[in-house]
Amino acid sequence: MRAKIIQQWKEYQLNRQAAKKAKQEQKKADKAQKKVDKLNNQPYLTILKQAKKTKQKFDYQDDILLKDVSYVYSKNSPFEFKALNKATISLAKNKITCIIGTTGSGKSTLIQLTNGLLISETGVSLIGDYPIPAGIKKIVNVKELRKEIGLVFQFPEYQLFQDTIEKDIAFGPIHLGESKAKALKAVPELLTLVGLPPHYATRSPFELSGGQKRRVAIAGILALDGNTLVLDEPTGGLDPQGEDDFMNLFLNLNQQYHKRIIMVTHNMDQVLRIADEVIVMHNGQLYKKDSPFKIFSDEELLKKMEIEPPKIYELLYALKAKGIDLTTKEIRTIDDFTAAYQDYLTTTH
C-alpha cells in the first residue's frame, strides 16, 4: 500500500512538472508569435494610422479573410479554452455562407471576429480592405465597421428595450449619426421586409410573440443598411413555419438586395436549402469548405464530424445502400429529389 502511494505521488510530481514545462513552452511560443505578428501586421497598422489622419473610407463589401486567427477564452486559468487555433477562412461577398460543426468547434467565436466584437490574438482579420490586426487595442472606424457588418446573436429578441417597435428599429441608425426623422421614416418599409405589418410601428415590442420579436430585432440590424448580415443560430426555438419564414427572408435579402449572409447553425436542412458555400469547423480550425452538395454527399465526413445530414440526404443514403445512388445530383428540395429519381428510373429501365 505504501509503495503504491509513493508511486502515485511520483506520477503526480512528474505530471505537474510536465504541465509546468508545457506552460513555459507555450509562453515562449506566444511571445515568438507576437513578434511575427507585429512584423507582418506593421503595414496594416500604418494603413489604419494614416486612415485616422485622413478620415479614409474603407470598402467592407469585398471578401472577408480571417488569416491565421486565434482566440483563447479564460487564458492562463483552469478554464482556458482555445476556440480558434490559427485558422484561415474566407467568406465571399454576395454569397450565403453557412458555418457548421460540433459545439466548441469555434463557429460563434469566428463570426465575432468579422465586426471586431472579438479581436484575434494572432494573424489579421481583413474585412474587405479594412484590417483588424492581432492584438490591436482600439479599432479605427468601429461604428462604420459595425454598420456594414451587422451581427445578430442567438435570441436577439432579448436585446429589445425601447417602449415602441419603431424606436427599437431606429435606435441603431440614430446612434450612428442618422437623423431621427430619416431613421423613423424607414421603419414601415423595414417592417414589411421582415414580414410584419407597418402599423405595428407604434406597438410595444413586448406585446409580440417570440418570432415577431426576432423579426423586429433583425429589422433593427437591417436599418443600418450594411452589406453583411451575420447570424448565430437565427431560428433557435422557432416552430417549423417560423424557421421557413426566416429562411425565405435571408434568401430574399441575398437575392434581391445582394447582401452577404453568414449563418452559424446546427440545422442542416436550412444549410442545404439556402447555402452557396459551407464551412465545416473542427477544433478551432477550418476542416473543409465546399458547396452544400459536396459536403452532404460525403458520408464519411459527416460521420467523422458528428454532423446529422439533412433529412433528404438521410433518404439518399438509404437509397444508396439499396444500390440507387443519387448523391451525385444537386438536390435541395423534395421536387429536386423527385426529378432526380424519375430521371434514374428513365435511364435504368
The number of domains in the chain is 2
Domain range for 193: 53-304
Same domain, 226 and 320: no
Q: How high is the pLDDT of residue 8?
A: 77
Same domain, 59 and 191: yes
The grid coordinates of residue 180 equal 431621427
Same domain, 184 and 321: no
Establish if 125 belongs to a structural domain.
yes
Q: Provide the whole-model pTM.
A: 0.88
Establish if 4 belongs to a structural domain.
no
Cross-strand bridge partners of residue 288: 280
Angle in degrees, 0-180, between the axes of helices 2-40 and 42-54, rounded to the nearest 10: 50
Same domain, 317 and 212: no
**CA–CA distances in Å: residue 279 to residues 14, 53, 100, 188, 264:** 41, 38, 6, 35, 9
Q: How high is the pLDDT of residue 51?
A: 86
Q: Contact 99/124 with Cβ under 8 angstroms?
A: no
Q: Which amino acid is at 334?
A: I
Report pLDDT digits (tens) over 141-193. Answer: 888 999 999 998 888 888 888 999 999 999 999 988 889 999 999 999 999 99
The grid coordinates of residue 330 equal 444537386
Q: Which amino acid is at 258?
A: H
Same domain, 236 and 324: no
**Ranges of residues in the chain whose predicted pLDDT is under 50:** none
Establish if 174 belongs to a structural domain.
yes
Same domain, 186 and 240: yes
Strand 124-127 and strand 64-73: the pairing is: antiparallel
Establish if 18 belongs to a structural domain.
no
Q: Contact 69/125 with Cβ under 8 angstroms?
A: yes
Same domain, 340 and 231: no
Same domain, 125 and 82: yes
Q: Which amino acid is at 11?
A: E
Same domain, 260 and 277: yes
Q: How high is the pLDDT of residue 192?
A: 94
Q: How high is the pLDDT of residue 308?
A: 93
Sheet holding 228-232, edge to edge: 149-152, 228-232, 260-264, 96-100, 277-282, 285-290
Same domain, 111 and 161: yes
CATH number of the domain residue 223 falls in: 3.40.50.300
Same domain, 224 and 296: yes
Cell numbers 492562463 correspond to: 76
